[in-house]
Amino acid sequence: MKRRDTLKALSLTSLGMAVGPVEAAVPEPPEPKPAVKLLPGRQKFEAERDTQLMGQKFLTPAELQTVTILSDIIIPADSHSGSASQAGVSAFIDFMMVDQPRMQTPMRGGLRWLNNKCVSRYGKPFAQLTKEQQIELVELIAYPGKATPDMKQGETFFTNMRNLVMTGFYTSKIGIADIGYVGNTPNEWKGVPDDVLKQYGLSYE
């Protein structure tokens, strides 16, 4: 920044500090949106689209709650790593709904299907069931090819959910550390380590 521009910016800031009683009575403008951090190299239409999408939500608070519970059933915390919700998977799933709107109906409809099944079986939607009841229901839809005919739509929904949760989790910091990916850093490739060559009975001749 040139010195002149710095001065200009400073004077604007100090103006802002000199808020008199009249200005203070005016309702505060909505909080400025947090600056969206875009990936480098975005084309103009991509930058505009990303900026616009970041402010949008698709899932209702109730839907988001159910998605979060399901995510943590699919990827719970264990002795190796944290859970899907700790890795921010629900927010990723919500973003994908606005990024690829074709995902919206299977998601919203699938959640609705799930809650209807829960209400008819237990009298309550999924989020309000006990942990045991939630697992009992999930067991009916978690194994492709094993679901009974009345649970087929649930099987499809759960498979989609599993795939989304897997991507969301394993592309997060927690998930990357869990699988032990140690690349994406400048290095020199010197070949397969000797102990691994030995383990597989291979050599570079």
| 151: contact with another protein by CB under 8 A | no
Q: How far is the CB of 25 from another protein (least distance, A)?
A: 39
- Count of CB atoms within 10 A of residue 180's CB? 7
How far from 135 is each of 47, 53, 125, CA to CA, in Å? 41, 34, 13
In this chain, which of 21, 34, 40, 149 binds another protein, going by CB under 8 A? 40
**3-class secondary structure, 185:** coil
| 50: contact with another protein by CB under 8 A | yes
The contact pattern for another protein, residues 84-113, with x = CB under 8 A and - = no contact, is --------x--xx--xx-------------
| 12: contact with another protein by CB under 8 A | no
Q: How far is the CB of 164 from another protein (least distance, A)?
A: 8
Sign of the dihedral defined by the CA atoms of residues 144, 148, 154, 156, in that order = positive
| Of residues 12 and 182, the one with the C-beta less far from another protein | 182
Stretch that binds another protein, among 56-64, 115-123, 124-132, 184-192 (CB under 8 A): 184-192
Structure tokens at 166: 């897997």
Stretch that binds another protein, among 15-23, 41-49, 56-64, 111-119 (CB under 8 A): 41-49
| Of residues 126 and 158, the one with the C-beta less far from another protein | 158
Count residues near another protein (CB under 8 A): 65
| 120: contact with another protein by CB under 8 A | no
As a whole number of angstroms, the distance between CA 1 and CA 136 comes to: 62
Angle at 80 between CA 77 and CA 146, to 5 degrees: 60
As a whole number of angstroms, the distance between CA 185 and CA 100 comes to: 31
| 158: contact with another protein by CB under 8 A | yes
In this chain, which of 27, 32, 41, 123 binds another protein, going by CB under 8 A? 41
DSSP character at residue 146: T
Q: Which amino acid is at 5?
A: D
Stretch that binds another protein, among 15-23, 106-114, 118-126, 173-181 (CB under 8 A): 173-181
- Count of CB atoms within 10 A of residue 154's CB? 20
Structure tokens at 49: 């689209």
